[in-house]
Amino acid sequence: MAVCIRMLRFARLSAGSPGVLGARAVLSPGWLEARLQGVRPLSSKEVERTATLPIGGLSYVQGCTKLRLINKTVGRCLDATAQKFPDREALVILHENVRLTFAQLKEEVDKAASGLLSIGLCKGDRLGMWGPNSYAWVLMQLATAQAGIILVSVNPAYQATELEYALKKVGCKALVFPEQFKTQQYYNILKQICPEVEKAQPGALKSQRLPELTTVISVDTPLPGTLLLDDVVAAGSTEQHLAQLRYTQQFLSCHDAINIQFTSGTTGRPKGATLSHYNIVNNSNMIGERLKLHLKTPEQLRIILPTPLYHCLGSVGGTMVSMMHGVTLILSSPIFDGKKALEAVSRERGIFLYGTPTMFVDILNQPDFFNYDVSTLCGGVIAGSPAPPELIRAIINKLNMKEMVVAYGTTENSPVTFMNFPEDTVEQKAESVGRIVPHTEAQIMNMETGKLAELNTPGELWIRGYCVMLGYWNEPQKTKEVIGQDKWYRTGDIAMMDEQGFCKIVGRSTDMIIRGGENIYPAELEDFFHTHPQVQEVQVVGVKDERMGEEVCACIRLKKGEETTPEEIKAFCKGKISHFKIPRYVVFVTNYPLTISGKIQKYKLREQMERHLNL
């Protein structure tokens, strides 16, 4: 048979041997003694639940290694969970009235995987999933993994030029999408860059601008030049094609590339972070372990997911955690909707709720918030961007999410590398992103000296371990820029670590404001402004200034019905923060430029403010 494997040519970028520091790391005297005392049990008596401490008074920490890493593909993990919990509810899609047990989901996934192979897709081919949260999205995520096809998570808000860039960047052979969602007409957008689709034989597209794209699959409507997803799944149900799937699976490795997630574009053109089965299987297993899902009853294993599946928090923290731990995954809406999220919690007796800080702000500020029964909630995950301490306290108190955890990570790290324990105090959750997860190393580097930073000192956060991506697809130079020969991934985030190993994200190295030689970290000021009684949300950016280089600009969204002035905001700062941190500019806004996953696009906000201020 023809060889259809187009494997990613990256060297495996996994962690070095435990305890080996990067070449630039410098340890103080006595580090060995500190290391020997560096593991202390938490309140749980289980051995894998340990918090490791920094070593030698410096900002370096290793996650514990008691929990074994898993050498299985996504497909094998789904098979095992379906065998263990066949009749447990696996997936609920409220807006599509879909309910499937794990046994039913596995059967559908196998047919879909078989169907994809039957139409000519091969191991290593790239398939783009382009659309809002849906049953088809979850089905394609799992079916591509079963067949060894690489899922490309395409931003559902992409317009024609953005779509063309993404599909060309990774050489997508297939694209799956609904006809339209609200005003986003997916088929018509595709036609702008691929007019040949209207007259193409389904599965045999020849496009001038997208030469590698041969197969277009419509989720819901028969369209010219496309295959219908239902027909692909039906074709995969034959014994002949299921046998082909079983044969293909013999050649799959947990170290194969399985997902390309585009970086969110907060700093420029997206890059294709390429993740393996090994990356996301183990990261989702660590997330579930840290959430202590194994201690919950089946009735308590219900996650409400309002975050987009195209983003790591949704696909790994949501779908994969569900598949690894036998959790019921409940999708509350096609795109984020705070009201729908509350309805899902109330109607489906949700136990865990996920979201970005912006999403939780919206949920808490629903006008009829108190009409919903949120009494079943006990925990959840907040991630995606820095969360103000006041917001963390409000979530825990108003949503009864006592076991809520803050998670930090990057797409390039599969994604989670720091995370709270559920039993951490409110203050520990409000003032940090938690502690290092197992089998992961972290160090904070002094950006001026290139050496390990002392504790409680800001520097760039570096990560090493099983979680580090294979690389940026087809961009070896950009990969080398962030992953050194020592296999440390440079996050570009400015962080601090305390004596207990709690990490606090101070900001992005690119967001840091340098005003007249003084380094100012926006996250610190944003936390401060959230203590103002009239402030709903705030983002701080640096804007250009001829004299100082940069000046501080605070972009403030006020609470409903509140009014104040820039002068009053500045007066609130005096005597509470250093004079050079007081914003020169205070601008009141109603919204911020966001990525589809809810992250603030600070570079766009900075550009908007410079135009607004005529700088």
Q: How many CB atoms lie within 10 A of CB 360?
A: 27
Average pLDDT, the chain: 89
Kindly indicate the confidence band of residue 451, based on its pLDDT and cuts at 50, 70 and 90: very high
Kindly indicate the confidence band of residue 509, based on its pLDDT and cuts at 50, 70 and 90: confident
pTM of the model: 0.82
Q: What is the pLDDT of residue 10?
A: 32
Look up tokens 């979530």; give the residue: 395
Burial of 282 (C-beta count, 10 Å sphere; 0-12/13-18/19+): buried
Q: Could you tell me if 260 and 444 are in contact, meaning their C-beta atoms sit under 8 angstroms apart?
A: no
Q: What is the pLDDT of residue 292?
A: 97
Q: Which domains does the chain have, with CATH numbers?
A: 101-274 (3.40.50.980), 513-612 (3.30.300.30)
**Which letter does DSSP use for residue 55 in this model?**
S
Residue 528: in which H helix or E strand, if any? Answer: helix 522-529
DSSP string across 195-241: GGGGGSPTT----SS-TT--EEEESSS--TT-EEHHHHHHHTTSHHH
Q: What is the pLDDT of residue 18?
A: 33
Cα separation, 114 vs 590, in Å, equals 48
pLDDT above 90: residue 454: yes
- CB within 8 A of 388, min separation 6: which ones? 357, 526, 527, 530
Residue from 524, 529, 501 nearest 513 by CA:
524
DSSP3 helix / strand / coil % (the chain, rounded to 5): 35, 25, 45
Kindly indicate the confidence band of residue 268, based on its pLDDT and cuts at 50, 70 and 90: low
b or e along 133-171 (b: 16 or more beta carbons within 10 Å of the residue's beta carbon)?
bbbbbbbbbbbbbbbbbbbbbbbbbbeeebbbebbebbb
pLDDT above 60: residue 7: no
- CB within 8 A of 538, min separation 6: which ones? 525, 526, 529, 530, 554, 555, 556, 557
Asked whether the CA dihedral 426, 583, 268, 492 is positive or negative, the reply is negative
Q: What is the pLDDT of residue 357?
A: 86
Q: Is 590 helix (H, G, I), strand (E, B) or coil?
A: coil
Q: How far apart, in Å, are the Cα atoms of 433 and each of 408, 538, 608?
A: 6, 19, 29
Q: Is 190 helix (H, G, I), strand (E, B) or coil?
A: helix
Look up tokens 């929990």; give the residue: 67
Residues 306-345: tens digit of each pLDDT: 999 999 999 999 999 999 999 999 999 999 999 999 999 9
Q: Could you tell me if 22 and 484 are in contact, meaning their C-beta atoms sit under 8 angstroms apart?
A: yes
Q: What is the pLDDT of residue 46?
A: 45
DSSP string across 72-114: --HHHHHHHHHHHSTTSEEEEEGGGTEEEEHHHHHHHHHHHHH
Q: What is the pLDDT of residue 387?
A: 83
Comparing 22-31, 539-548, 551-560, the range with the smallest average pLDDT is 22-31
Cα separation, 288 vs 329, in Å, equals 13
pLDDT above 90: residue 49: no
Residues 152-193: tens digit of each pLDDT: 999 898 888 889 999 999 999 999 999 999 989 999 999 999
Q: What is the pLDDT of residue 597?
A: 66
Question: What is the average per-residue pLDDT within 245-257?
Answer: 98
Look up tokens 């949120």; give the residue: 374
Kindly indicate the confidence band of residue 22, based on its pLDDT and cuts at 50, 70 and 90: very low
Q: What is the pLDDT of residue 151?
A: 98
Q: Could you tell me if 205 and 193 are in contact, meaning their C-beta atoms sit under 8 angstroms apart?
A: no
Measured CA angle at 229 (ends 228, 230), to 5 deg:
90
DSSP string across 388-457: -HHHHHHHHHHS--TT-EEEEE-GGGSSEEEE--TTS-HHHHHS---EEPTTEEEEEE-TTTSSBPBTT-
Percentage of residues of the chain with pLDDT beyond 70: 90
Measured CA angle at 492 (ends 70, 451), to 5 deg:
95
Cα separation, 196 vs 186, in Å, equals 15
Cα separation, 116 vs 96, in Å, equals 23
Cα separation, 178 vs 194, in Å, equals 16
Residue from 44, 50, 54, 81 nearest 285 by CA:
81
Look up tokens 């912006």; give the residue: 358
Q: How many CB atoms lie within 10 A of CB 596?
A: 17
Q: What is the pLDDT of residue 66?
A: 92
Question: What is the average per-residue pLDDT within 568-592?
Answer: 92
Look up tokens 């789904």; give the residue: 78
The count of residues in the chain is 615
**Which letter does DSSP use for residue 524 in this model?**
H
Q: Is 290 helix (H, G, I), strand (E, B) or coil?
A: helix
**Helix locations, 333-388, DSSP H:** 338-348, 357-364
pLDDT above 90: residue 16: no
Q: What is the pLDDT of residue 278?
A: 98
Asked whether the CA dihedral 323, 310, 105, 352 is positive or negative, the reply is positive
